[in-house]
Amino acid sequence: MESLNRTKSKRVPYIPPLADRLFIGISNLNCMDIHSYPRFLTVNSKPFDPIQLAKQTERIVCRGDARKYTAFYATGVYGGIATGYIVGCCLRCYFCWTSFSRDFPEFFGKFFKAERAMELLRSTARKYGVNKVRISGGEPTLCKHHLLKLLENFQETDLKIFILETNGILLGADRDYVRRISTFDRVHVRVSLKAGDPAAFTKRTGAIQKAFYLPFKAIENLLDYNVSFHVAAMTDPRIMPKHERRTLLEILAEIDPVVAANLEEELCDPYEATLVRMAAYGIDPVRFFKHE
């Protein structure tokens, strides 16, 4: 029988898990903010205008030429690249891998001016022996003034390339934005597509159907201004059916056969935030990733 004379342990304060802290923190927000700002995508979510969501998000994550970042580090993608992890996006893809800062930008990050952000990217690149940089974890084309200043500061470095990852929404809506990006050297754009038709686009991203065409317009703008770029797409067969993939390739081929031929095809991985977002959408992540 276990002894009743156990030594009393020092009481440790309970620290709620990250998800609990987020939802506890929501109670401190204005109710209108909770209902008007899209968080997790659900099957009952009302489609939103991603341009308007971009503006809403910018009010949270942009401040002059400063933007919210959560970390600066290096990772092995692209053969090794220094990365600034940014806060905020204008889509709500249920398969998204980024941290919960996408859904709750109020709770994450500190503001860094473009000059300081590039200093940190450059020092990170030197520390890890890489010569490429990017900003990731959110939508880099938010905070337009910050990005353009960041690219301007990049020109003063000896780094090889700046990879600009984007969902293409703002570059499709603002042709002059692409023109201004085209004035910088050593910038390569990666446009990430989410669907092959408008209905699937809304289902996966939460955005209104007419926004489906904006990333393709971005591709046309990049071609017109002779910007270095390539296209990626979430063509994981567990998410995108074969017939939809064919449609996507046909649309790209109509724009430019070379772009279609060089499509980078993505697979969905079981990141922590991805599992939560899938569950919120009504997809059982255990069944979805059962082969792994």
Tens of pLDDT, residues 199-246:
999 999 999 999 999 999 999 999 999 999 999 999 999 999 999 999
pLDDT at position 250 is: 99
| Residue ranges of E strands in 87-129 | 110-113
What three-state secondary structure class fits 152?
A: helix
pLDDT bracket for residue 85 (50, 70, 90): very high
Which residues 6+ apart lie within 8 Å of 106 measured at CB?
25, 29, 60
pLDDT at position 292 is: 54
- Answer whether 99's CB lies under 8 Å from 273's CB: yes
Q: Is the pLDDT of residue 12 over 70?
A: no
Between strands 66-75 and 62-63, the pairing is antiparallel
pLDDT at position 28 is: 42
Q: Minimal CA–CA distance to 116: which of 107, 108, 106, 124?
A: 124
Q: Is the dihedral of CA 193, 197, 198, 200 positive or negative?
A: negative
- Answer whether 72's CB lies under 8 Å from 80's CB: no
Q: Is the pLDDT of residue 31 over 90?
A: no
Q: Is the pLDDT of residue 16 over 60?
A: no
| Structure tokens belonging to residue 185 | 């050297």
pLDDT at position 90 is: 99
> Residue 260 to residues 67, 156, 189, 190, 193: CA-CA distances in angstroms?
33, 34, 15, 13, 12
Q: Is the pLDDT of residue 32 over 60?
A: no
Q: Considering the entire predicted model, what is its pTM?
A: 0.87
Q: Residues in the chain, how many? A: 292
Q: Is the pLDDT of residue 112 over 90?
A: yes
Helices (H), the chain: 18-26, 31-36, 50-61, 114-128, 144-154, 169-173, 175-181, 198-205, 214-224, 242-255, 257-261, 272-281, 285-288
pLDDT at position 25 is: 43
Q: What percent of the chain has pLDDT over 90?
A: 87
- Answer whether 161's CB lies under 8 Å from 187's CB: yes
| Structure tokens belonging to residue 113 | 């001016």
pLDDT at position 284 is: 96
What three-state secondary structure class fits 72?
A: strand
pLDDT at position 36 is: 84
Q: What is the DSSP letter of 210?
A: G
Q: Whose structure tokens read 């968080």?
A: 39
pLDDT at position 221 is: 99
Computed over every residue of the chain, the mean pLDDT equals: 91
pLDDT at position 18 is: 52
pLDDT in tens, 207-216: 999 999 999 9
**Bridge partners for 39 per DSSP:** none
What domains does the chain contain, in order, with CATH numbers? 39-285 (3.20.20.70)
Average pLDDT over residues 61-82: 97
pLDDT in tens, 138-179: 999 999 999 999 999 999 999 999 999 999 999 999 999 999
If one counts every other C-beta atom within 10 angstroms of the C-beta of residue 108, the result is: 22
